[in-house]
Structure 1
Amino acid sequence: MLSVIISLIVCYNILLTESKPPHIVFIVADDLGWNDVGWHNPAMKTPNLDNLANQGVILNSSYVQPLCTPSRTAFMSGYYPYRTGLQHNVILPWSAAYLRRNYTLLPEKLKNVGYNTHMIGKWHLGFCNWNYTPTYRGFDSFYGYYNGQEDYYSHKIMFGLDYRDDKKVVDDKEGVYSAFSYTERAKKIIESHNTSDPMFLYLAFQDVHAPLQVPKRFEDMYSNINDKNRRIYSGMVSALDEAVGNITKSLVQNGFMDNILIVFTADNGGIPTFGGNNLPLRGAKSTLWEGGTKGASFVYSPTLLDKTGYINTEMMHATDWFATFLDVAGGQPEKGVDGISQWDMLRTGSPSKRNEFIYNIDEINKNAAIRYGDLKLIEGSAGRFNDWYPVPTSNLENFKTADHIYDLNEKTDLGVEHFEIENIAESDEPQYRLFNITADPTEHFDIADQFPDLVTKLKDKLVEYKKLLVPAFDPSFSPKSLPIFYDGVWTPGWC
């Protein structure tokens, strides 16, 4: 009788453990190219990421947005950026733009079902008012920066410091590479967390966004690469890999691995002129080509996935992470979000619940793209990187599209070499292009002229989606934003 009781208790404890919402670690790499991870390119030294990817599920058709702010909007809100007004370019430091508060963000939803929520790294969803910053949008803690890029050592963008610990300015990390600081903060959160409570940890790494900076020991790992940009960039990828490895080790040591879901994704494609590579895909960051919108991605869990160790080719979109994480956590998105839970697909390898998605709709750039089944229709210009780029060189003149660079030294005198990318139409491009992405994943063959009926069908679908468009929220330069008014720090409170 006693043995039966003990067996029942053991079974009850197992069921109780299995019913607990899992810890979720969501890792986003900034501007990481498709060809810049070891599971796509063996020349890249990413053993920690490779190990997680190969033991988990590699996602071969996981789509993101062409730029940083739009992708983060999709992750955090579950809505297509064109439905939030953040579809055009990115939020610039001096712009009073933000992800509006009528959207309930992922960490807020997770807190409602009992999660502790933490964010480390890049926000890029607005900071002109405290109400638009991470700890006012559902995160229990925030350690990172508000803007889209900054120096990895001084933590400044232009002439202003941009580094926060919750609301407090971090001014004692001068000279410390950001990935190292982020790793230490992540380990601190992990070590102090009670594993009986579910944790959501959003790791939005600065690597591998410009400027190209990395400690020399990582650059030296690629001493065989002659091109300086590519050598440093590759070192930055390996610095990111080491950070993920150290954080994963801490998760193991502190008892998280029995009930955890780890997701890794790029936020958009790489930039050829800044070291990134997307081969064999066409295009780059800022474009509607696959090289700008298909993200290197995987999911990993030692216990939650029924099928692992394979490449999943089912369709997934950036908005789906919102709904998927809520499903895993036992929550539910509000009616009307664009994201669809793909948990069954990720867990069992079953078909995707999605057959179509919008790449983007941008009424300022006058371009858009839609995927429907195997087909992809591009309306207007796909962007300024229209080719298939080899391993990049450091000579911008080698790229006929090099004038895409947003040179703020010329434009505004604010002292930054590179910020983001404009997507300006080229006059000789056709208005519509059609590709079969399943048969032609590298977008070599425009079949629009062969199948005019399919072009019309997808155009009609785009028209319906466009009815939901929120005009681009793109305020002009606000001098009140400048750090000279806030002791040299980029600070909320001017809108």
Structure 2
Amino acid sequence: MLPTIHIALLVLTVFVALCDGQHPNIVFIVADDLGWNDLGFRNKHVISPNIDKLAGMGMILDQSYVQPVCTPSRTAFMTGVYPFKVGQQHLAMLPAQPSCAAMDKVILPQKLKENGYSTHMLGKWHLGFCKWECTPTYRGFDSFYGYYNGQVDYYNYTILNGTDFRDNKQPIRPKEYSTFEYAKRADEILRTHNKSQPLFLYYAFQSVHEPIEVPKSYEDKYSWIKNEGRRKYLGMVTALDDAIGNLTESLKQAGLFDNTLIIFTSDNGGWPQFFGNNYPLRGSKISVYEGGTRASAFVSGKGIKNPGTTYKGLMHAVDWMPTILSAAGVKQVSSTDGIDMWDSLQNNNPSKRTEFIYNLDDKTPELTGHAAIRMGDYKLIEGNPGLYHGWYPPPEDESILNTDQFNEIPLVPQLYNLKDDPNEHNNLFWKEREIYKKLNSRMEEYKKDMVPADYPGNDQKSAPSNYGGYWTPGWC
């Protein structure tokens, strides 16, 4: 038996290892439908001091990419696998679809929980709920406070004649604006957390997805803006920012801030139809143009050695899982598409990623079928890029919003040099034929791994009227 003093020293060594960075706390924040041009560090009109401060204390990611819509991005975050390999490449999951994302994959919270992390989720799931096994507390989260679908009302938590909100498995209906509710629960989680155990908080905000709703006090912060929808939208951004300010303060009050890595990203680009803005990038949510897929993102806090910098290297949504596992000191999951970027982010080293797939989707090609790849500085788009092909200046000075969402679908592939032409104005398809052939050939290789999209029809058994008015698992 070890002498008492040796046991005490062993316990102290383990505690120091946990608190000194081997196992940092990790907060992974996802903002929903936030545009490239919708934060203060890019747009002087946006009031987001808390986010701007965290970004300034850390590293802004200038070329961090996501999927064009919600469910595919969240699939990539959680699995480290391209959505086209697991059937989640086509649009976003609908409430009555009997579908669950990547049930055969070990996802991020499961791996962290297996390695001693306390795991919590707030906000939007959107990875399926037709059976309980699909839902957060069955997939690695110790607690869940949020909703299963892609959107709900910010005040009454309803969608399509049903309420959608859970405290773990318990159906509830919170009383306040959802952003405030999440802030309160985040504070509770942090205040009661056992500091001898590392923490993972997946904070998947509802904001700023439509419906466009915000307390009037936030809208009034933008009273000079003529466009009512844009006023409210930016008010939602500022409410989100306040919640992140509350999170930062709660981390400090709980004595966790200095050992916490904070990751922030949007899940796709802003949606001009609902007042999000990606200018000067081209396109929107739903499209594979840069405006739909180039995320506002940054890392801040524990382990980031070059604060106040902008990282120019490539990164994709599938990289977050291996990067977070590496930051946590946890063994990687095999057979993913993600690249461990932790050393690159920590030390501002060149990116290990040289190419990625924006999306491969062959379902209903006359509407949304498209394929896009980036290799080095070049990007190739084939098929319909998705709705919203144009460039949409912020409507701060306009009372009417013009989105020209249904402009003509290009008849030829589109090839861009994103280093010289980041806003995708000049199609090089006819000029750079050899480069086109190279990217096209590589994309065809990826297509060999594409599986059919899991996009079933609606199932009437899902109706909330069958479950006391709540969207509830148990019908598939």
Partner of 1:312: 311
- For residues 188-207 of structure 1, the aligned pairs below 5 Å read 188-207=188-207
Distance 2:199 2:280 in 1: 37
* 1:120 Cα offset (Å): 0.2
Shift of 1:335: 2.1
Shift of 1:431: 3.3
1:408 aligns with none
What whole-Å deviation, never above 9, does each CA across 1:422-443 have from its counterpart, x for those lacking one? xxxx765133110011111111
TM normalised by structure 2 equals 0.94
Contact 2:75/2:102 (8 A) holds in 1: no
Superposition deviation, residue 264 in structure 1? 0.4
Structure 1 alignment gaps of length 5 or more: 1-7, 404-425
Residues 79, 15 of structure 1: alpha-carbon distance in 2 compared, 3 angstrom cutoff? closer
The alpha-carbon distance between structure 1 residues 394 and 85, as it changes in their structure 2 partners (threshold 3 A), is farther
Match of 1:387 among 390, 402, 408: 390
> Does structure 2 retain, via aligned residues, the 8 Å contact 1:265–1:298?
yes
Q: For residue 127 of structure 2, what is the aligned residue in structure 1?
A: 125
Counterpart selection for 2:464 from 474, 483, 490: 483
Equivalent position SS for 2:357: strand
For residue 322 of structure 1, give the secondary structure of its aligned residue in structure 2: helix
Query: Any idea what SS the aligned residue of 1:273 has?
Result: helix
Native 8 Å contact 1:274 1:394 kept in 2: no
Residue 267 of structure 1 is matched in structure 2 by 267
| Residue 306 (structure 1) shift | 1.4
Q: Could you tell me how far apart the structure 2 residues matched to 1:159 and 1:16 are? A: 47
Q: Is the 8 A contact 1:94 1:478 kept in 2?
A: yes
Corresponding position of 2:357: 358
Q: 1:64 pairs with 63, 66, 72, which one? A: 66
Deviations 1:16-45 (A, max 9, x none): 642540000000000000000011111100
Aligned length: 460
Checking the alignment, whether the CA contact within 8 Å between 2:322 and 2:333 is kept in structure 1 is no
- 1:118–1:428 Cα change, 3 Å: closer
Code of the aligned partner of 2:60: I
AA paired with 1:151?
Answer: D
Q: What is the TM-score normalised by the length of structure 1?
A: 0.90
**Separation in structure 2 between the aligned mates of residue 103 and residue 17 of structure 1, nearest angstrom:** 30
In structure 1, C-alpha distance between the alignment counterparts of 2:408 and 2:346, rounded to whole Å? 46
The SS at the match of 2:451 is coil
Residue 452 of structure 1, aligned match among 429, 433, 438: 433
**Does structure 2 conserve the Cα–Cα contact (< 8 Å) formed by 1:381 and 1:431?**
no
Unaligned runs of 5+ in 2: 1-8
Look up the match of 1:419. Answer: none
C-alpha spacing 1:19/1:390, structure 2 compared with 1 (3 Å): closer
In 2 relative to 1, CA 168–222 (structure 1 residues): closer, same or farther, beyond 3 Å? same
The answer to whether 1:437 aligns with 2:427 is: no
Q: Aligned letter for 1:379?
A: E
Compute the displacement of 1:390 (Å): 1.5
Q: Deviations over 1:73-107 (max 9, x none)?
A: 00001001101100001110010111131011100
Residue equivalent to 2:209? 209
Q: 1:50 aligns with which of 28, 49, 52?
A: 52
Distance change >3 Å, CA 253–CA 460, structure 1 → 2? same
Instruction: Write out the 4+ residue segments of structure 1 that deviate beyond 3 Å after TM superposition.
Output: 11-17, 392-396
How far does the alpha carbon of each residue in 1:392-450 deviate from its partner, in whole angstroms, 9 at most, with x for none? 46756x3332x6xxxxxxxxxxxxxxxxxxxxxx7651331100111111111111111
Aligned to 2:3: none
Q: Which moved more, 1:328-337 or 1:55-64?
A: 328-337
Q: Distance in 2 between matches of 1:17 and 1:277?
A: 40
- Secondary structure of the residue aligned to 1:252 is helix
- Structure 1 position 15, deviation (Å): 6.0
